[in-house]
């Protein structure tokens, strides 16, 4: 792997308040399978990849190896969300919104919903993205009908910047995608303000 790929690598470990986001590695195959399989019904409406589940053990291992190669080559990073020893979901940073930007994706285990896990992960990934000098913006995209997902960028102060038509990719999708965006300066202002508020109690 060349120097260019190394210098483009996205972070593989992010420490948030309660959560640690750690890149999935091939030896996590069993853990990923168990987490996905107990969440199939909850994820199926919104996550296009669930249509291929359950994967064979061999295919899952291959997928994790592909994710590893992708990350090593300076592409996307896919994280497990750890709360202590427990995996409570998955999330990632994707290079599919053009140069200077990253898109965040997330899903949370059914037993940990509505506890701020997606919000905390997305906030930590946004901070990590802006830790890279080449990143100017971070986006979150979701189907218009996915109200649970919508709450995350809204809570974090992302701005709704557009709507786009596309083919529905998962059973509950309408095909209208909402696009939310956070810019580097606005994120650092918000973080500064939040820090001052918590210092003042
Ligand atoms: C979307 C998802 C990741 C949210 O995870 P989460 O950890 O429960 O989200 P949070 O607890 O951080 O919620 C953030 C806000 O989103 C909104 N929200 C989350 N779940 C909601 C629900 N079921 N109904 C309405 N609003 C909801 C709320 O405004 C919430 O803030 P609040 O709890 O203070 O009111 C989770 O529901 C999930 O895994 N869904 C299936 C997969 C998916 O849709 N992924 C996203 C694809 S774009």
**What residues are paired with 44 via a beta bridge?**
none
**Closest Cα to atom 28, ligand 1: which residue?**
151
Is the pLDDT confidence value at 1 over 70?
no
What's the Cα-to-Cα distance from 170 to each of 40, 47, 144, 166, 174, rounded to whole Å? 13, 6, 13, 12, 9
Distance 106 CA to ligand 1 centre (A): 10
SS (H, E, C) the chain: CCHHHHHHCCCCEEECCCCEEEECCHHHHHHHHHHHHCCHHHHCCCCHHHHHCCCCHHHHHHHHHHHHHHHHCCCCEEEEEEECCEEEEEEEEECCCCCCEEEEEEEECHHHCCCCHHHHHHHHHHHHHHCCCCCCEEEEEEECCCHHHHHHHHHHCCEEEEEEECCCCCCCCCCEEEEEEEEHHHHHHHHHHHHHHHHHC
In a domain, 88, yes or no: yes
pLDDT at residue 20, rounded to an integer: 99
In a domain, 48, yes or no: yes
**Long-range CB contacts (within 8 A, 24+) of 59-67:** 60/29, 60/32, 60/33, 61/26, 61/29, 64/24, 64/25, 64/26, 64/28, 64/29, 64/32, 65/26, 67/23, 67/24
Cβ-contact 179, 166 below 8 angstroms = no
Is the pLDDT confidence value at 107 over 90?
yes
pLDDT at residue 195, rounded to an integer: 83
**Closest Cα to atom 17, ligand 1: which residue?**
151
Closest CA to 121 of 180, 160, 68, 79: 79
Determine the structural domain holding residue 45 and report its residue range.
Answer: 9-200
Query: What CATH number corresponds to the domain at position 185?
Result: 3.40.630.30
In a domain, 65, yes or no: yes
Cα 17 from Cα 14, distance rounded (Å):
10
Distance 114 CA to ligand 1 centre (A): 6
In a domain, 1, yes or no: no
Residue ranges around ligand 1 (CB below 6 Å):
43, 46-47, 106-108, 113-119, 142, 146-149, 151-152, 155
Query: Across residues 175-190, what is the average pLDDT?
Result: 97
In a domain, 3, yes or no: no
Cβ-contact 199, 188 below 8 angstroms = no
Ligand 1 test: best mutation among 124, 140, 142, 151, most atoms within 8 Å of CB? 151
**Which of residues 156 and 1 earns the better pLDDT score?**
156
Average pLDDT of the chain is 96
pLDDT at residue 4, rounded to an integer: 74
Total structural domains within the chain: 1
In a domain, 4, yes or no: no
Tens of pLDDT along 46-93? 999 999 999 999 999 999 999 999 999 999 999 999 999 999 999 999
- In degrees and rounded to multiples of 5, residue 136 shows phi and psi of -110, -20
């Amino acid at each position: 792997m060349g120097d260019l790929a190394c210098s483009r690598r996205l972070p593989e470990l992010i420490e948030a308040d309660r959560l640690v986001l750690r890149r999935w590695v091939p030896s996590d195959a069993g853990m990923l399978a168990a987490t996905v399989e107990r969440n199939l019904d909850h994820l199926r409406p919104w996550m296009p990849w669930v249509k291929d589940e359950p994967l064979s053990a061999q295919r899952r291992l291959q997928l994790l190896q592909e994710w590893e190669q992708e990350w090593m080559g300076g592409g996307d990073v896919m994280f497990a969300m750890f709360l202590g020893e427990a995996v409570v979901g998955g999330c990632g940073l994707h290079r599919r919104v053009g140069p200077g930007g990253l898109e965040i994706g997330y899903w949370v285990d059914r037993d940990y919903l509505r506890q701020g896990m997606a919000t905390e992960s997305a906030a930590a990934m946004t901070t990590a993205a802006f830790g890279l000098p080449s990143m100017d913006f971070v986006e979150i995209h979701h189907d218009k009908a996915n109200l649970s997902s919508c709450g995350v960028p809204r809570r974090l102060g992302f701005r709704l910047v557009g709507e786009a038509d596309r083919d529905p990719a998962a059973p509950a999708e309408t095909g209208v995608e909402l696009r939310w965006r956070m810019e580097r300066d606005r994120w650092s202002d918000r973080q500064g303000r939040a820090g001052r508020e918590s210092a003042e109690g």
